[in-house]
């Protein structure tokens, strides 16, 4: 039976003037909205206790499995306020399906697509006032699930918590559309064959942080990972998919195998590409081909894409060669095609262009 996420009565609400002050400078979800949707699962009873309550701490046992063995997954999507005040989410069914796949990989109970969508709808209905309007502003929704029962033997949890939280979001990168420098690591991997690379789980992020720190030491804000076996094939960034644009009008991105996250933004970019004279070219791309292409000028642009950062031009690739730092600047670091695809995508998301693919789902009443 489908879950109903009813609002627990008498929850408290932040005054409108305080929310307005947060909208002035939201950062990337530095403030969470008043409510959260939650549900609990037990191996005996299945999913139950769905509700919307005030945002607040969980009662969590120090022995809770998630704190020891990391049995956790998450999703990320945005809600956009259109000019007429209505609220819309972007392809949420794709997040729902990916959440199920992540559940399966991480031995968590699956949450049916309709319950995933209902939980988001219930949270947005409770916290409509938290969805900002304005340039590049949205409400970021974070559904997640973790093992909450206490034990130290290694096995899948029998008590699971599902929750949805969220808050107002501005631009992910402070550099905005100016683009980002990317550190290419061939020391660390985020995923390997048979591993969890295709699941959206916290563990993948935890293992990427050291490379992220190394990148920061080289003045880069993101890291490009290659395959764990040979460090020769381009995979993706820590939390974003990778694309390259060639002079002969191809849009190259590696296939999502078991080691690359199948991004909703990635899928949407591949759909939009032909409108900009670009032919999607989903195939393995080696680091040597990438470097040589940038060097000779056959690869003119590169970009990173994901829900959080939307589409961000890559200005340069920084990497270590023979013990020294090398920097390759993209021939077109401003990313002319990149920004054209970005504009087309965000125009659909904010309702400024016709939703020709049926991607938008209304979430306001």
Ligand X SMILES: *Cc1c(COP(=O)(O)O)cnc(C)c1O
- Smallest separation, CB 267 to ligand X (Å): 8
Residue 265 within binding range of ligand X, rule CB under 6 A: yes
Secondary structure tally for the chain: helices H, strands E: 8, 18
Q: Which two tokens stand for residue 52?
A: 């919307």
Q: Which of residues 10-69 bind ligand X (CB under 6 A)?
A: none
Q: Do residues 302 and 246 lie in contact, with contact meaning Cβ atoms separated by under 8 Å?
A: no
Decide: is 235 part of the binding site for ligand X (CB under 6 A): no
Our measurement of the distance from residue 261's CA atom to the centroid of its chain's CA atoms, rounded to an integer in Å, reads 10
Which one of residues 263, 293, 313, 335 is an interface residue with ligand X (CB under 6 A)? 263
Nearest residue (CB) to ligand X, 42 versus 267: 267
Phi, psi of 118 (to 5 degrees): -65, -35
Least distance from ligand X to the Cβ atom of residue 53, Å: 26
Query: Measured from the CB of residue 5, what is the shortest distance to ligand X in angstroms?
Result: 23
> Which H or E element spans position 348?
helix 336-349
Of residues 265 and 332, the one with the C-beta less far from ligand X? 265
Q: Is 200 in the site for ligand X (CB under 6 A)?
A: yes
**Piece of 169-177, 214-222, 236-244, 336-344 that binds ligand X (CB under 6 A):** 236-244
Residue 306 in contact with ligand X, rule: CB under 6 A? yes
Q: Is 264 in the site for ligand X (CB under 6 A)?
A: yes
CA proximity to 165, closest of 108, 199, 119, 132:
119
Does 313 bind ligand X (CB under 6 A)? Our answer is no
With a CB cutoff of 8 Å and minimum separation 6, the contacts of 179 are 312, 313, 314, 315, 333, 334, 335
Question: Is residue 239 near ligand X by the rule CB under 6 A?
Answer: yes
Shortest CB 304 distance to ligand X, Å: 9
Q: Which uninterrupted H or E stretch holds 72?
A: strand 72-74
N-to-C CA span, the chain:
23
List contacts with ligand X (CB under 6 A). 76, 200, 236, 239-241, 261, 263-266, 306-307
């Amino acid at each position: 039976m489908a879950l109903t996420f009813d609002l627990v009565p008498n929850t408290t609400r932040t005054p409108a003037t305080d929310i307005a002050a947060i909208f002035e400078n939201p950062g990337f979800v530095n403030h969470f909205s008043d409510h959260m949707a939650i549900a609990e699962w037990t191996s005996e009873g299945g999913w139950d206790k769905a509700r919307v309550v005030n945002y607040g701490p969980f009662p969590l046992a120090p022995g809770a499995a998630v704190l020891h063995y990391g049995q956790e997954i998450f999703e990320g999507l945005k809600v956009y306020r259109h000019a007429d005040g209505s609220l819309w989410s972007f392809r949420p069914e794709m997040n729902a399906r990916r959440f199920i796949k992540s559940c399966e990989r991480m031995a968590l109970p699956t949450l049916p697509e309709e319950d995933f969508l209902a939980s988001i709808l219930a949270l947005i209905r409770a916290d409509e006032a938290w969805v900002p309007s304005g340039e590049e502003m949205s409400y970021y929704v974070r559904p997640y699930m973790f093992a909450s029962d206490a034990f130290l033997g290694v096995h899948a949890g029998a008590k699971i918590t599902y929750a949805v939280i969220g808050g107002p979001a501005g631009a992910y990168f402070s550099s905005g559309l100016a683009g980002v420098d990317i550190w290419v690591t061939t020391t660390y991997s985020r995923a390997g064959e048979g591993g969890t690379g295709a699941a959206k789980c916290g563990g993948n992020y935890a293992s990427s942080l050291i490379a992220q720190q190394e990148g920061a030491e080289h003045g880069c804000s993101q890291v490009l990972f290659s395959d764990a076996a040979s460090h020769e094939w381009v995979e993706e960034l820590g939390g974003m998919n990778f694309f390259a644009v060639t002079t002969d009008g191809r849009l190259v991105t590696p296939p999502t195998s078991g080691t690359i996250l199948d991004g909703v933004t990635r899928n949407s970019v591949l759909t939009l590409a032909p409108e900009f004279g670009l032919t999607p070219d989903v195939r393995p791309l080696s680091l040597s081909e990438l470097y040589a292409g940038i060097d000779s000028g056959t690869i003119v642009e590169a970009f990173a894409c994901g829900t959080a950062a939307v589409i961000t031009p890559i200005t340069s690739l920084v990497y270590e060669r023979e013990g020294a730092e090398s920097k390759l600047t993209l021939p077109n670091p401003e990313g002319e095609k990149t920004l054209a695809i970005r504009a087309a995508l965000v125009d659909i998301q904010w309702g400024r262009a016709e939703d020709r693919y049926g991607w938008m789902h209304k979430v306001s009443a």
